[in-house]
Chains A and B, each alone.
Chain A
């Protein structure tokens, strides 16, 4: 099973709202990632968790707050977003290490109004 699930599929939120994106995997992977993807561009790395600890933060604004409550779950908490934050948000997982393939979820299409 190489499935990563993400909820919700679509999300529309105002700039004053607080919302969360959720990601789940049951492949036993101990590394999980958040990516942001704008239209016609490749995914851009936001955060990396390794063994449930944040290991990489690619200078992401604090209005994005990741959380890894256990080895299967990854959340991205959103607060006071801007319209330019509208994008496809992708979760991925892999084994820990520098050489392992990453498996992506279907993404959450976020629109900030």
Chain B
């Protein structure tokens, strides 16, 4: 089945630093989504990408849909403490892309550098 490889699994941030994470797949996706989840809460949609090569920003967040349709990355610029949490990438499949075929990466956990 389709799988997403999300990296890094975890990272520590210091306020003001830029952060990058990415997702790759062996399969093609026609939509990439990035979510952030705080402990005990539901995932919040950050950015949705629909076209290969598309670059979309949401405040300090920027995400890109890879031109091969098999990868996506998320950048956070000038991180702040409230950026901590778990970030999930998710892809909607091109084939077998029936309703609800949302494939999640395993998440990237952002923590504050001690």
Contact = CB atoms under 8 A, between A and B. Distances in A.
Interface in A22-50: 31, 33, 40-43, 45, 48, 50
Nearest to B33: A101
Contacts of B33: 101-102
Interface of A: 2, 4, 6, 31, 33, 40-43, 45, 48, 50, 55-56, 88, 90, 92, 96-107, 109
B98 A42 contact: no
Given A42-B106, A43-B104, A98 B92 contact: yes
A6 B97 CA distance: 27
B105 A42 contact: yes
A42 B99 contact: no
Interface residues of B, number: 25
A97 B40 contact: no
Given A56-B100, A101-B31, A109-B40, 19 more contacts: A2-B45, A6-B42, A42-B88, A43-B104, A50-B99, A55-B99, A56-B99, A88-B40, A98-B93, A98-B98, A99-B30, A100-B92, A102-B102, A104-B35, A104-B43, A104-B44, A104-B45, A106-B42, A107-B41
Contacts of A92: 42
Nearest to A103: B45
